Structure 1
Amino acid sequence: MSTWRGAEPPPAPPITAAGWLRVVWRGTALGAVTFGCLGLLLLVRLAERPLFGWHRPVTPFITQFVCRMAFVILGIRHTVRGQQMRARGAVVANHASWLDIFALNARKRVYFVSKAEVAGWPGIGWLARATGTVFINRDRREAKAHAQLFEERLKAGHKLLFFPEGTSTDGRRVLPFKTTLFAAFLTNELKDILHIQPVTVIYTAPPGQHAAFYGWWGDMGFGAHLLNVLAARPQGGVELVYHAPLRVSDFPDRKALAMACEDAVRSAMPSA
């Protein structure tokens, strides 16, 4: 996957002595909650998997608890506008940061669709597999395989979530949506039973910081970005805007469906 390089990353703010203290206690608390609950999730999954298969009646609540607690620990405001979709289907959103995963999971039980190489990333790949992430290759030649996998998960009641931009940005814009994955929802088996809900993720930087403070892109290192977020005081906020779900069967092809989703997501961005 290519990395967006449309803007220069802002200079990292210096971390003060008080900031390092926040890094220590917030990092410790976040790690304890994340990995403690991950251990609980894996234990519950030992019984959940043979009893329910693809259905996960318990473990998504554990994931959601971790994501909500992350914002409590970090002190970042988390607000929502709009109604969450109850119909069967998928969710698409713009992508600005690793924080998106926490933000989108905190309010809605979703399963992320991610590029295949993430499964091999140390730590992150393990967490992603444990929480039911769907790993795929973004290749049109694999559209049929994607459709079969999506069908299994969607018919099990899973809400699949993917980022059609294909990369993260500075959080201040929406890139053109890639249309490849939308084809998987337009098969004869799925198009008449699915909806797709566009969601706009909007970050507000901490007072006095660069507007793209929470954005993570280009050559920005994960560790350095994480430290700055942990150290920040006061913090900013993130808002999720849930748009009206789109009925897949109302669109003639993947390009039209992708464009409608992109327009909805873009419409709520402050720059719009």
Structure 2
Amino acid sequence: MKLHASKDETLSRKTLPILIWVRVLVHILAGVFTLSLIFPFTSQSQKDRKIQQWSQRLLLIFKLKLVVTGLDDVITTPSLFSANHISWLDIHAINACKPIRFVAKSEVRSWPIFGWMAKQLGTVFIRRDSARHARQVVEQMAEVLKTESICIFPEGTSTNGVQVLPFKPNLFESALAAKCPIYPLSIRYVCEKTGLRSDSPAFIGDMGLLESMSRVIHEPGLLVQIHFLQPYRAEISGGSDRKQVAAYCQESIAQTL
């Protein structure tokens, strides 16, 4: 009996990841269908609801539990959110609790399927090697922030989440120009059983997207913790300098990690 049980357990461990890959593929195809045939004929509120539901379902497939704090204190007017960056999952985790537009590096546009989906969702792409293009993106963001919220990852790269890299201040200029609230947003991935930080979702170095997805699949039972922090207040700090805003957001996030 023990021998059979051991074989069954081994078979289950082998087949479970395959089933998850199938569910991921089906879910992505469903997203492509929605973006292609449903989004063009729906209102923005309906789009946001579908984005949120799709993202929640994706986290469920990967067996990630979402824990959100501070969202009730966020005002409903268009705002700029600045977050630390760990994984390609960050965007989906944020969308699962608050659908929003993002700024992403231009390389994301070339990702298979996900790049196309990001473009359809209104992602603003930025070339990190071009100061001129960055200025154009700031102007574009300032215009968008008049009616919609945007989230940025000011570290400029993803990390393993141990610490927060210095925030690049350029994109914060858009929120100062639009005179909108600026919220720090911390992201952390931990093992639910131990409460310890997990490296599995980290999308760093030369790692490919499929490799990163495989790492998450093989470590079920993760929590993704999202914490909306107190906004930057120019009237309290005595000014509206983008470097000061970037430093405030970075330090606020670092304290939560």
TM-score of Structure 1 vs Structure 2, range by shorter chain: 0.7 to 0.9
1:82 counterpart (67, 70, 75): 70
Displacement after TM superposition at 1:47 (Å): 2.6
1:72 equivalent in alignment to 2:60: yes
Q: Secondary structure at the match of 1:186?
A: helix
Distance across 2 between alignment mates of 1:150 and 1:18: 48
User: Is contact 1:19–1:231 with CA below 8 Å preserved after alignment?
Assistant: no
What do residues 83-132 of structure 1 show as CA deviations (whole Å, max 9, x unaligned)? 35223211111011111111111000111101223222322211111222
What's the counterpart of residue 6 of structure 2?
none
1:246 equivalent in alignment to 2:228: no
User: Residues 110 and 248 of structure 1: is their aligned pair in 2 closer, same or farther, counting only changes over 3 Å?
Assistant: farther
Displacement after TM superposition at 1:152 (Å): 2.8
What's the counterpart of residue 112 of structure 2?
122
Paired AA for residue 167 in structure 1: T
Displacement after TM superposition at 1:151 (Å): 2.8
More helix by share: 2
Q: TM-score if structure 2 supplies the norm length?
A: 0.85
User: Is contact 2:189–2:197 with CA below 8 Å preserved after alignment?
Assistant: no
Q: Secondary structure at the match of 1:180?
A: coil
Distance across 2 between alignment mates of 1:182 and 1:232: 35
Q: Secondary structure at the match of 2:117?
A: helix
What do residues 123-151 of structure 1 show as CA deviations (whole Å, max 9, x unaligned)? 22111112221112344434542233113
User: Residues 83 and 134 of structure 1: is their aligned pair in 2 closer, same or farther, counting only changes over 3 Å?
Assistant: same
What's the counterpart of residue 27 of structure 2?
33
Distance across 2 between alignment mates of 1:200 and 1:150: 21
What do residues 52-110 of structure 1 show as CA deviations (whole Å, max 9, x unaligned)? 7xxx2322221111110112222222101113522321111101111111111100011
Q: Secondary structure at the match of 1:57?
A: helix
Distance across 2 between alignment mates of 1:114 and 1:232: 26
Query: In the TM superposition, what are the counterparts of 1:255-266 in structure 2 within 5 Å?
Result: 255-266=243-254
Q: TM-score if structure 1 supplies the norm length?
A: 0.80
User: Residues 202 and 21 of structure 1: is their aligned pair in 2 closer, same or farther, counting only changes over 3 Å?
Assistant: same
Aligned pair count? 242
1:226 equivalent in alignment to 2:176: no
What's the counterpart of residue 18 of structure 2?
24
Q: Which has the larger radius of gyration?
A: 2
Query: In the TM superposition, what are the counterparts of 1:157-236 in structure 2 within 5 Å?
Result: 158-187=148-177, 190-191=178-179, 194-205=180-191, 211-233=198-220, 235-236=221-222
Displacement after TM superposition at 1:17 (Å): 4.9
Displacement after TM superposition at 1:204 (Å): 0.5
Distance across 1 between alignment mates of 2:175 and 2:197: 38
User: Is contact 2:175–2:182 with CA below 8 Å preserved after alignment?
Assistant: no
1:91 equivalent in alignment to 2:77: no
Distance across 1 between alignment mates of 2:234 and 2:46: 29
Gaps of 5+ in 2: 1-9
User: Residues 74 and 144 of structure 1: is their aligned pair in 2 closer, same or farther, counting only changes over 3 Å?
Assistant: closer
Comparing 37-46 and 243-252, the one that deviates more: 243-252
User: Is contact 2:200–2:219 with CA below 8 Å preserved after alignment?
Assistant: no
User: Is contact 2:141–2:174 with CA below 8 Å preserved after alignment?
Assistant: yes
What do residues 192-245 of structure 1 show as CA deviations (whole Å, max 9, x unaligned)? xx0011111011036589842221211223222211212334x22111111012
Q: Secondary structure at the match of 1:219?
A: coil
User: Is contact 1:205–1:236 with CA below 8 Å preserved after alignment?
Assistant: yes
Higher RCO, 1 vs 2 (CA within 8 Å, ≥6 residues apart): 1
**Percent identical residues:** 30
What's the counterpart of residue 45 of structure 2?
57
